[in-house]
Amino acid sequence: MNDRIQNTALHAKVMSAAHAAELIPIGAHVGMSGFTGAGYPKAVPQALAARLAALHAAGHTQARIGLWTGASTAPELDGALAKAQGIEMRLPYQSDPTCRQQINAGQMLYTDMHLSHVAQAAWYGFLGPLDVAVVEVVGILPDGRLIPSTSVGNNKTWLDQARQVILEVNLHQNPALAGMHDIYNGTHLPPQRQPIPLTHAGDRIGEPYLQCDPSKVIAVVITDQADRNTAFDAPSDVSNRIAGHLIEFLQHEVKAGRMPAQLLPLQSGVGNTANAVLAGLQSSPFEHLSAYTEVLQDGMLDLLRTGKLAFASATALSLSPTALAEFNANIDFYRQRILLRPQEISNHPELIRRLGVIAMNGMIEADIYGNVNSTHIMGSAIMNGIGGSGDFARNGYLSIFMSASTAKDGKISCIVPMVSHHDHTEHDVQIIVTEQGLADLRGLAPTQRAQLIVERCAHPSFRPQLWDYMDRARHSGAGLHTPHLLDEALSWHSRYLRTGRM
C-alpha cells in the first residue's frame, strides 16, 4: 500500500468499497472516471449499486444518482448501476445494453453530448454542482498528486469540480503507466481563454499527474482488477472493402498534393469497421503516420508496434485483453509513442482544426444529401451516443463516415431519403464510404451529392427506389435546391417498422 499511496495522510482514508459507497449522498451528481472499458472505478460503483438495490427493496424506489463519466464504461459501472435501477440521469455517452434498454424504456434520462463539451459545461456551471468524484488511479504521490490510469477522460475536471473525492487505487494497473499522461491545466473560462499551445500530436503541454486537493478526499479504496474492453471481431469482408476504398482514396489525396505522404493525424472511431481500417493501413504504403484521436484501439497499437504509426495521442487505451497484455509487456516502448490527455484536449475543436485531423467515424445511416445519423435507430431509440464523432467531424481536415450499405440482413438501407435523426449535417460530412464505394462530396451542391451517394454508396437492391424518390422529388414542384417529398421522406423507416423491410 505504501508504494501506491505515498501520501501518508491518506492512509487513514483507506476503507472498503461498501463503506466508501455509503458516503455518496442519494440523489448526488457523481462524476466517475472511465472512457470505454478503461480506467473506470471497479469496486465503488458495484457497492453503490448494491446499496441502491437494498434501498429499493426497502421501498425507497427513487434512490438514484446522476452519473457523469468520460464516455462509455463497463458492466461493473454502467451495467451494475443500471441493473440496480440506480441511475436517474446519465451523460455524456454510454454503450451499455441495460442502460440503453432503460433509456429507450423511458426509465433513465440521457443527455447525449459532444465529448469535448462536457468539461467546459461543468466549468460553466451548465450541469449543476458536482457532488462526488469517483476516480480510478494507479497511485498517489507524496504531495497528493495522482498517477492517472488507462484513461484520462474528464478526471481532471471531476477532481477540480467535485466537493468530495473517492479514489480507487487499482493495483492491477501497471505502475509504469506513470509518464504516459499529459494533463493540461491551462484552460480558463471566457473571456480569459488563451490559445492552447499544441501544434503537433506528440507535443507535451502539461504534466504527467492529476492534481487533487487531499483535503477533499473522503475515501481511498484499493482494488486489483483488470479493465474490461471487448475483443474485436476479425475484420469482415464488408469492413475490409470499406477499408480498401478509404485507403485508395487517401493515396489519391496524396497523389493530388492535398496531403503529405505521411498523411495528417488520424482519428478513428469505435467499432469493428474502424478497427478494420486501421488493420488495412498496416498493409498500405503509408509510413510515419500519426494519430490525434480519443481511443487507442488494437489496430493502432499494431501500427505503433510495426512503426507504421510514429505517435498516437488519445484519452483512453481501449485495448482488448490480448493487446493490453502486449502493451504492458512493452510499456517502455509505448511510453515513447503514446500520450493520454484529458478529453477536452484530445477532442478540442481548436486543436483538431489546427492539426488537420482526418476524422473517420462509423454511422447508422446517411441520407442522399449527406446528413448523418450516428445515434438513433429508426429516429427514436438511442444506440450509443454521438461521442466524439461531432468534435472531429466538424473540425477535421477531412470528415469521413462509414458503414455497411445495408443492415439487418439487407432489410434496411443505410442510405435513405432523409435520416431519421440528425447528428452530423451535410455541412460536416465530406466523404461517405460503404462496401459499395466512396462518395467524395467536397464542393458539391445537394443534388450532385445525392447523385454520387446513391451511385457509389447505396446497395444495388435499394438504388432503383432511391432514384425513383429523387426523380419524383425533382418533379414535384418542391424547391430544387434540396428536393424532398415531405410525405415520403421518412416513409422508409415507417415501412420498416410496419413490415420489417424498407
Q: Which three cell numbers stand for residue 24?
A: 455518496
102 vs 361 by CB, closer to ligand 0RQ: 361
Query: Which residues bind to ligand 0RQ, rule: CB under 6 A?
Result: 36, 71, 93, 115, 269-273, 294-295, 361-365, 374, 377, 383-384, 386-389, 404, 407-408, 412, 414
CB of 154 to ligand 0RQ, least distance (A): 13
158 vs 232 by CB, closer to ligand 0RQ: 232
71 vs 398 by CB, closer to ligand 0RQ: 71
Measured N-to-C along each axis, helices 463-474 and 446-457 cross at an angle, to the nearest 10 degrees, of: 160
CB of 141 to ligand 0RQ, least distance (A): 29
Contacts of 234 by beta carbon, 8 Å cutoff, 6+ apart: none
Handedness of CA 305, 309, 315, 321 (dihedral sign): negative
66 vs 390 by CB, closer to ligand 0RQ: 390
CB of 301 to ligand 0RQ, least distance (A): 16
Contacts of 335 by beta carbon, 8 Å cutoff, 6+ apart: 176, 179, 180
Q: Which three cell numbers stand for residue 469?
A: 424518390
Burial of 62 (0-12, 13-18, 19+ CB in 10 A): exposed
164 vs 343 by CB, closer to ligand 0RQ: 343
* H-run or E-run covering 409: none
Please tell me the distance from the alpha carbon of residue 50 to that of residue 496, in angstroms, as a whole number: 40
> Catalytic residues, which ones?
294
CB of 382 to ligand 0RQ, least distance (A): 10
Contacts of 271 by beta carbon, 8 Å cutoff, 6+ apart: 362
CB of 18 to ligand 0RQ, least distance (A): 31
Whole-Å CA distances, 493 to 330, 368, 402, 466:
49, 14, 20, 14
The residue sitting closest to ligand 0RQ, measured at its beta carbon, is 387
221 vs 352 by CB, closer to ligand 0RQ: 352
Cα angle 256, 392, 290; round to 5: 60
Contacts of 468 by beta carbon, 8 Å cutoff, 6+ apart: none
CB of 38 to ligand 0RQ, least distance (A): 10
Burial of 441 (0-12, 13-18, 19+ CB in 10 A): buried
